[in-house]
Every structure is written in structure tokens, then in C-alpha cells.
Amino acid sequence: MRYYAMIITATIIWGSTFVLVKDITEVLGPAWLVGIRFALAAVILALFFFKERDVYLDKRNALYGCVCGFVLFAGYYVQTVGITDTTPGKNAFLTATYCVIVPFSAWLLMRRRPTRFSIAGAAIALTGIGLISLNGDFTMRFGDALSLGCAFFFALHITLISMLTSEKNALAITIWQFAVVGACGLTVAALTEPVPDLARFGLDDVLVMGYLTVFATALALLMQNTAQPHMTPATASLILTFESVFGASFSILLGAEELTLRLFVGFALVFSSVLVAEVLPAWLDKRRRLAAETAS
């Protein structure tokens, strides 16, 4: 349960960032935001865990972290470009289709055949996310195609984390991953975005950057990378879809959105998807064991 709690805590933190990110992108370009946020997170973790430097300076851990970092940056960047040509709700929904892709990417790369429960859970979760995120017509634009494309990168990232990380090397892979995302973000920002005007930065912006860097990046992703090896990729992807639930919940609490029947049903479906994928098969397996013991 400790590892499930860690990933759920991470989704709560990420859910709280939607309004913050929307506000700070008014003074900081998306690539600058990603680059600065991840570069600072890499430095913070490297300094905080300096005594563990032998682990994160290991060549194999560095290679694994770089691979995960490139894939994660691709997901973030494609998602950011995609949202410029679509609505936030459609972007969030199409991104969350990774929960359907992960069982099959894990099957392809890890030879873990998806169960009917994990596929059913993913479909239920996707329906719930659609109710939470989508509003109005669903016509496909170029930004929608990019948003769908980023889901493949996020699905690959979730699968790679399950393949390459363990509790022993999670810290090392996280640090290298942050360093690569930060370097890629700063490079793209320098080539495609204007230099940020620091005079426009207020105390609120500094506090938001601090929260995004320390909690939403360093802490949350370290918790994900530490906990994920203790569950299947399909399970992790379903739990991660709770980010959309918590994101909408924080919007309601902050007065940016109203709680409607549609949202409530969406929340219930996302929650029930985990029950279908995890609790139901465990309950059925327990019943089968009890029946077998009774028969014998």
C-alpha cells in the first residue's frame, strides 16, 4: 500500500499544478518553464543526495536515466506544442489515452500480456477522463494529433520506468532524467522562444516556480520512479489517470469550475477503473482459492 500511496500523492501534487502552470506561462514560455523546472530539480536532488553520488554516477544508471529523460521530454514538448492548436480539455483527454496504450507497450517490451481486467479498467478510465475533460464537438485538428502522439511517449516512459528502475537505482535514474529534460528544454527554448523578461517576475511567480520545481518535479517524479517498479505498468498508468480527477477537483475548489453531474460521473468512473483492474481480479482469485479449499 505504501507504493500505491506514493503514486497517488504524486497525482495529487500534479493535479494542483494546472492552474499554476496556466498562470506562469504568461511570463515564461513553455520550453523555458520545462527547462528551468527540470534543470533546477536535477541540481536539487544531486546536492541533497550528494552522499549517494556513487549510485547516480554509475554509467548504466546514467544511460537508463538519459533514455527515460529523452522520452519524457518528447512527451512534454509534443504535448505543449499540441495544446497551442486545441483546447486544454481535449489535450488532457488525448494525453490520457496512454492508459490504454501502456498495457500493450508493456506487452511489446516486457512480454507482459495485458489481462482483460486491465484493458477493461483502461477503457473505463478513458471514458471517465472524457467526461471530465471534453466539452463540445470533437473534431480532429493538428494539435489533437500531436496530443495523441504525446500519449505514446508518456506510455513508453511509464513502461521504461517499470523496465529499468528498481528501488536501488530510482534516485539515480530520476536525477539523470531531470538533467536531460532540463537540457533539452533549455536548448529548445533558446532556439525557439524569447529570453524571459525577469522584470515581469513577481514574488508569486517565484513561489510558483519553487512549488513546481521542488514538489511537482523533484518530489513527485521521484515518488513515481520509486514506487512504480512495485506494480505493473498497467496498474501505474491507471493510478496516474487520477491526475485529471485531482486537477478538476482543485479547479472546483479554486472556483474556476463548477461540480456538475457530468464531472461527478467522470470521477466515479476513473475511481471504479482501478477497482475493476486491481480489486476485482484479487477478489475473484480469493473466491476461487476458497472454493478450491472447500472442495478439497
* Residue-level pLDDT at 89: 66
* Residue-level pLDDT at 191: 95
CB neighbour list of residue 266: distance below 8 Å, 6 or more residues apart: 128, 129, 130, 131, 132, 245, 248
* Dihedral angle, C-alpha 211, 212, 218, 221, nearest 10 °: 130
Task: Encode pLDDT of 192-204 as tens digits.
Answer: 999 988 888 888 8
Given a cut of 80, is residue 255 above it in pLDDT?
no
Q: Residue 218, Cβ neighbours under 10 Å: how many?
A: 23
In the chain, domain spans: 2-295
* Residue-level pLDDT at 71: 96
Residue type for 206, please? V
| Spatial distance between the Cα atoms of 88 and 41, rounded to a whole number of angstroms | 26
* Residue-level pLDDT at 168: 79
